[in-house]
Amino acid sequence: MPSAPTPATEGTGATESTTGVSAKPAAPRRTARRFDPLAYGPLIGLVLMLVIGTALNPDFATWDNWMNVLTRTAFIGIIAIGMGFVIISGGIDLSVGSMAALIAGAMILTMNALAAQIASPVAVVALGMLFAVALGGGFGLAHGYLITRGRIEPFIVTLGTLGIFRAVLTWLADGGAITLDMSLSDAYGPVYYGSLLGIPIPVWVFALAAVAGAVLLNRTPFGRYVQAIGSNEQVARFAAVDVDRVKLLTYGLLGVCVGVATVLYVPRLGSASPTTGLLWELEAIAAVIVGGTSFKGGEGRVAGTVVGAILLSVIANILNLTSIISVYLNAAVQGCVIIAVAFLQRRRP
Q: Render pLDDT for 126-175 as a digit per residue (tens, 0 to 9).
A: 999 999 999 999 999 999 999 999 999 999 999 999 999 999 999 999 98
Q: Confidence band (pLDDT; 50, 70, 90) for 104?
A: very high
Band (46; pLDDT cuts 50, 70, 90):
confident
Say if residue 103's pLDDT is above 80.
yes
HSE-up of 95 (CA within 13 Å, CB side)? Answer: 28
Alpha-carbon distances of 321 from 44, 66, 195, 268, 312, rounded to whole Å = 22, 13, 24, 21, 14
User: Which of 2-11, 37-46, 236-245 comes out lowest in average pLDDT?
Assistant: 2-11
Query: Cα angle at 189 between 303 and 121, to 5 degrees?
Result: 120
Is 319 in contact with 330 (CB distance < 8 Å)? yes
Which residues, at least 6 apart from 148, have a Cβ–Cβ distance to it below 8 Å?
243, 244, 247, 248
Residue 141 CA from chain centroid, whole number: 18
Measuring CA to CA, which residue among 184, 30, 157 is closest to residue 99?
157
Partners of 199 in the β-ladder: 196
Please name the amino acid found at residue 190: P
End-to-end CA distance of the chain: 59
Q: Cα separation of 262 and 79, whole Å?
A: 9
DSSP three-state, residue 42: helix
Average pLDDT over residues 196-225: 94
Q: In angstroms, rounded to a whole number, what is the distance separating the alpha carbons of residues 168 and 190?
A: 29
- Count Cβ atoms below 10 Å from residue 319 Cβ, excluding itself: 18
Instruction: Give the tens place of pLDDT for each residue, 82-99.
Output: 999 999 999 999 999 999
Question: What whole-number distance in Å separates Cα of residue 229 and Cα of residue 234?
Answer: 8
Q: Tell me what pLDDT residue 348 has.
A: 54
List Cα–Cα distances, 60 to 68, 70, 152, in angstroms.
10, 13, 46
Query: pTM, whole model, 2 decimals?
Result: 0.85
Question: Could you give the 3-state DSSP secondary structure of residue 199?
Answer: strand
